[in-house]
Chain A
């Protein structure tokens, strides 16, 4: 799970990841160890809560833009970027739903779609100099 968490951290903007990514990974790893010791129910609950928190946190981080110390983007985020962010969030939500309902065939498909959506998000972010 640690590797999945590390991969999902790439949903966050690079500056955010550089500042807080290692710390977030360490906090997740400690929480995972602790909840695993409490039994399978506690562990699954922990993982689902973490995944939802991470995905929604990444979407909020993208929408919030760079820290206020950075140069603001004139007129807010471009429509194309917002649409790509929404597609990533939607695919991740479907992926999490499928995993939590043991629908692993669908989960694999949503995982592929999520990867494609993430690549597209990166492309449009780079296009607007936001990556």
Chain B
């Protein structure tokens, strides 16, 4: 599997601690990205649909009183894919840092 796109990675990260509905995902991703990324509705739902098709997230109906009934949560496979991607990014950051240290030395 290749690297995840940034919207997909951010959605998986946002769902890692709790389920969220569409608008809450957009707001949380703004915070997660340090206000660098605000996903448009089309981009968000394009990524959500792919993740649903791949079985990395599930859509379910919240039984609370909020106006946003449909919410999304990570599946076991989605969590595993997120862990793999974070490990890949860590490895990449370590390699990059090592190269920078070599140049400084």
CB within 8 Å of B: which residues of A? 16, 19-20, 23-24, 26-28, 30-31, 49-50, 52-58, 60-61, 64, 67-69
Q: Which residues of B contact A16 (CB under 8 A)?
A: 49
Closest-CB distance, A99 to chain B (whole angstroms):
16
In the complex, the number of residue pairs spanning A and B with C-beta atoms less than 8 Å apart equals 60
Q: Is the interface of A mostly helix, strand, loop or mixed?
A: helix
B79 contacts A by Cβ under 8 Å: no
Whether the pair B41, A50 counts as a contact (CB closer than 8 A) is: yes
How many of chain B's residues have a CB under 8 angstroms from any CB in A? 20
Closest-CB distance, A23 to chain B (whole angstroms):
6
Whether the pair A61, B49 counts as a contact (CB closer than 8 A) is: yes
Pick from B44, B46, B49: contact of A27, CB under 8 Å:
B44
CB within 8 Å of A: which residues of B? 22-23, 26, 38-46, 48-50, 52-53, 67-68, 70
Pick from B41, B43, B48, B67: contact of A31, CB under 8 Å:
B41
Whether the pair A20, B49 counts as a contact (CB closer than 8 A) is: yes
Whether the pair A26, B45 counts as a contact (CB closer than 8 A) is: no
Cβ-closest 6 pairs across A and B: A53-B40, A57-B42, A53-B42, A54-B42, A57-B46, A27-B22
Pick from B26, B39, B70: contact of A23, CB under 8 Å:
B70
Nearest to B50 among chain A residues (CB) is A64
Q: Is the interface of B mostly helix, strand, loop or mixed?
A: helix
Closest-CB distance, B23 to chain A (whole angstroms):
5
Pick from A23, A54, A68, A69: contact of B40, CB under 8 Å:
A54
Q: Which residues of B contact A27 (CB under 8 A)?
A: 22-23, 26, 41, 44-45
Q: Which residues of A contact B38 (CB under 8 A)?
A: 49
Whether the pair A57, B43 counts as a contact (CB closer than 8 A) is: yes
Nearest to B46 among chain A residues (CB) is A57
Nearest to A49 among chain B residues (CB) is B40
